[in-house]
A and B are shown apart, each in its own frame.
Chain A
Amino acid sequence: MTDVAVTYEQRGRSVRAVAGVDLTVERGQIVGLVGESGCGKSTLAKAAVGLVPTSGGSVRFDGTPVVPLGRRSRPVALRRMQMVFQDPYSSLNPRRRIGDQIEDGLTLAAGFRGDRRARIAELLDRVQLPTDAARRYPHEFSGGQRQRLAIARALAAEPSLVVADEAISALDASAQAAVANLLVTLTRELDMGLLFISHDLAIVRQVADVTAVMYLGKVVEAGPTTAVWNDPAHPYTAALIGAVPIPDGSGALPVDLPGDVPDPAAPPSGCRFHPRCPQRFGPCAGTEPTMLQLGSGRQAACWLNDRAVVGA
């Protein structure tokens, strides 16, 4: 699977929730997508799987262009791309047995022939749930367990890419760790790609190989996770890192980033981050910075990285 590039515009008031994003997820790779609420990361996730139409650019999955879902059923080739949603309460059908919901994935998406019951048991086992869960209904499970069930359902489709949209945000801390670990293990074992979307930079750091940071519909920085974390090339990334409170009892207050995310319908001129940026200078308000390649797989859209501009 190569080259998931999305550019699109939301219908209606022409809000550009995602305003030109390039993103690639390879097989066996975990890409973390971070950003605050309203930055367009969920919309991007939905566009990637075809749940919302794009207004520009192209999304490709294993060479097949992703088409938005209409009245017809999804093209077979795209069914290998599955999603795990944020809310473990609304992502499972409350009135259908777990087994039936997983079976849908087997028959509809994977074209599975063989012993379905054994396969369902195997999938439940993979997500560390007892096999008799298949006979039960979602309300009998806790949030963390439901999220495992949702993962099992996604796995039934034998996906080569899973998009996890805030998949652990609604869970308690210890359940978060367990589900995050499960996703990582499965990605490695099954050699799938994982697009892990979260507002929590700290957890993305633990999970992702590559991190992309989104602000107001655009990716402002991307690169290998450790590099992005240790030496952020964009002030927004730095602000996000500084704002994460550290549970060490030191009493250090996290760094404040004043202001709010602007309305995506009326983005600021120039660099979208400039009204909140602690390091803004000359060109920021006037000209929008382009994505600069910084070497070793890193890129950032900030004038500070452009020697010619900083020197001037």
Chain B
Amino acid sequence: MTTDPIIAEGLPIPPADEPATYMLSTHTQRRRGRRTGSPWRRPMAVIGVVVIAFWLLIAVLAPWLAPYDPLVQDFPRLAAPDPAHLFGTDGSGRDVLSRLMYGSRVSIPLAVLLVTLSTLVGSTMGAIAGYFGRWADGIVMRIADLVFAFPGIILAMAAAAAFGPSLRNAVLALVIVTWPSYARVVRSLILSLRESEFVSAARLMGSSARRTLLVDLRPNAAGQVLVLAALEVGNAVLLLSGLSFLGLGAQAPQAEWGAMVSDGARNFDSWWVGAFPGLAILTVVLAFNFLGDTLRDALDPRTTRALRSLP
């Protein structure tokens, strides 16, 4: 690969033009690695990660950590917090702390499931609409507009009521409400990517439209969709709890945060019944939002480009 061995000091003559950046690429990679790492030093992201880790730990270890069975109603009803029941007991005489711990095994995994499902449905629909355009675009986007026209929670209530109240149906109802957001984002991403010259190049090679979408476009859209999904987990927790609060999700006696808050609302004088699950929802939602915001800043193409353009 050497063209002309004139150089002293053992510097090989690089092949072709402009090899300098090429030779330095390991250096740039290292630098970029540190840059994407730097957001983690931001306090908000750290708080988010710590809180999420805390709740995941609780969810996994609930059977061992919880002092009592969450469904056992053997205790005095509406007892204020004391050393035996740190968070008191609820209207049916169950230990609030234990129910709270078991509740995290419902809310967080279901929220993740909900986001995964709507991301899958939304991305597929959005990609089809964006890439094929014309009537496919028309149909998908009109349905999306229709969904957007209703207040989300009301539509979800109607759907959940129609399916019959249960946690599974609540998740399905919320998928119906949330997929259009992903469809819109993915559609606009694909619309702008579709015109890229690398797509033309792939088509000229003989790549079919479907293959181009899956092989060439998908990896380019995936990053931003993942960020959006991470941002939405907090929102999903809130929506699911909301449906359960309204009695359309988790059914008694299952320990679920929304349902627990609802119990708290019925026993308003015993603040501990509703306040602790409410706090749990608050912390989870905030934590995911902090994390999502940081991820978005870190992965935003404009921010990344700005960082990269720095020497």
Chain B residues near A127 (CB-CB < 8 A): 16
**Residue B306 interfacial (CB < 8 Å):** no
Flag if A145 contacts B22 (CB, 8 Å).
yes
Chain A residues near B203 (CB-CB < 8 A): 51, 69, 73-74
Flag if A93 contacts B202 (CB, 8 Å).
yes
Contact with A along B27-48 (1 / 0, CB 8 A): 0110000000000000000000
Give A145's nearest chain B residue, CB to CB.
Answer: B18
Contact (A95, B220) CB under 8 Å given A73-B208, A141-B22, A174-B17: yes
Q: Which of A91, A136, A144, A179 contacts B201 (CB 8 A)?
A: A91
Q: Which of A73, A76, A92, A175 contacts B17 (CB 8 A)?
A: A175
Contact with A along B192-226 (1 / 0, CB 8 A): 00001110111111111101000110011000000
Flag if B216 contacts A96 (CB, 8 Å).
yes
Flag if B216 contacts A93 (CB, 8 Å).
yes
Flag if A104 contacts B200 (CB, 8 Å).
no
Q: Which of B16, B19, B21, B197 contacts A87 (CB 8 A)?
A: B197
Flag if A128 contacts B18 (CB, 8 Å).
no
Chain A residues near B15 (CB-CB < 8 A): 128-130
Count of chain B residues near A, Cβ 8 A: 31
Contact with B along A210-236 (1 / 0, CB 8 A): 000000000000000000000000000
Chain A residues near B198 (CB-CB < 8 A): 90-94, 101
Task: Tell me the A49-87 residues at the B interface (CB within 8 Å).
Answer: 49-51, 69-74, 76, 79, 81-83, 85-87
**Residue B149 interfacial (CB < 8 Å):** no
Q: Which of B16, B205, B206, B208 contacts A129 (CB 8 A)?
A: B16
Task: Tell me the B152-203 residues at the A interface (CB within 8 Å).
Answer: 196-198, 200-203
State how many angstroms separate the Cβ of A309 from the closest Cβ of chain B: 43
Contact with B along A123-155 (1 / 0, CB 8 A): 000011110010010001111110010100110
Flag if A157 contacts B205 (CB, 8 Å).
yes
Chain A residues near B55 (CB-CB < 8 A): none
Contact (A145, B200) CB under 8 Å given A74-B206, A79-B206, A109-B205: no
Distance of A91 Cα from B25 Cα, bound (Å): 20
Chain B residues near A74 (CB-CB < 8 A): 203-206
**Residue A310 interfacial (CB < 8 Å):** no
State how many angstroms separate the Cβ of A180 from the closest Cβ of chain B: 11
6 contacts between A and B (CB under 8 A): A71-B132, A85-B197, A90-B198, A94-B198, A105-B205, A144-B18
